[in-house]
């Protein structure tokens, strides 16, 4: 158990993506067209609204009384080997890891797990989507968007399947800004 915890801590240090804090104005629920993106093609997200929490029967995420809570992705070893989990193609462990979405307060205390596992899809200049437990698409972006708005962008990565895609070296090699979404809140 301790070895697994140390391994996931090391992965977090190696991934700027896993250290980003996403605040209320960066996260949306959206309708997708097509339902799943294709690499190199345009993807349309519409009907932007408050993001949902799959752990509380799809009610809106509770950002707290002051609206100062934030979301972070957390990596955990996947004992179920789900198709949505990421394969460790970097450290030669071939282990599989789930990407969990968790809610934190302004003092960096974890409030709750929003989604225990999910799929990362549609990375591109407009942002990316996390599909909570195979049910809810949650869009993350640095763009200033409005309620009921529409986003169109070309996807660079359709589905993240390997751990290397979210580690710093791979992000630096591609030079993609979507790995570093924190705007300094």
The DSSP secondary structure of 8-58, one letter per residue, reads HHHHHHT-GGGG--B-GGGEEEEEEESSS--TTSEEEEEEEE--EEGGGTT
The neighbour count for residue 128, using CB atoms within 10 Å, is: 24
Chain center to CA of 31: 17
| pLDDT for the residue 171 | 45
Q: Give the E-state strand segments of 58-178 in sequence order.
A: 59-60, 70-77, 86-87, 96-104, 110-115, 118-124, 127-132, 136-140, 151-159
The neighbour count for residue 13, using CB atoms within 10 Å, is: 12
pLDDT tops 90 at residue 62: yes
pLDDT band at 8, cuts 50/70/90?
Answer: confident
On whether the CB atoms of residues 1 and 154 are closer than 8 A, the answer is no
Distance CA 109, CA 91 (A): 30
pLDDT band at 7, cuts 50/70/90?
Answer: confident
The pTM (predicted TM-score) of the whole model is: 0.88
Distance CA 99, CA 15 (A): 12
């Amino acid at each position: 158990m301790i070895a697994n915890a140390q391994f996931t801590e090391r992965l977090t240090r190696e991934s700027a993506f896993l250290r980003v804090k996403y605040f209320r104005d960066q996260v949306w629920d959206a309708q997708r067209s097509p339902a799943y993106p294709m690499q190199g093609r345009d993807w349309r997200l519409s009907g932007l609204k408050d993001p949902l929490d799959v752990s509380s029967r799809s009610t809106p995420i509770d950002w707290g009384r002051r609206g100062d809570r934030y979301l972070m992705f957390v990596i955990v070893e996947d004992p179920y080997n789900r198709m949505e989990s990421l394969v460790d193609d970097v450290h030669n462990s071939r282990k599989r890891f789930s990407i969990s979405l968790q809610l934190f307060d302004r003092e960096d205390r974890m409030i709750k797990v929003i989604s225990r596992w999910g799929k990362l899809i549609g990375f591109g200049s407009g942002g990316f989507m996390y599909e909570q437990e195979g049910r809810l698409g949650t869009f993350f972006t640095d763009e200033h968007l409005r309620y009921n708005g529409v986003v169109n962008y070309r996807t660079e990565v359709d589905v993240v399947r390997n751990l290397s895609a979210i580690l710093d070296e791979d992000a630096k090699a591609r030079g993609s800004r979507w790995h570093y979404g924190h705007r300094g809140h």
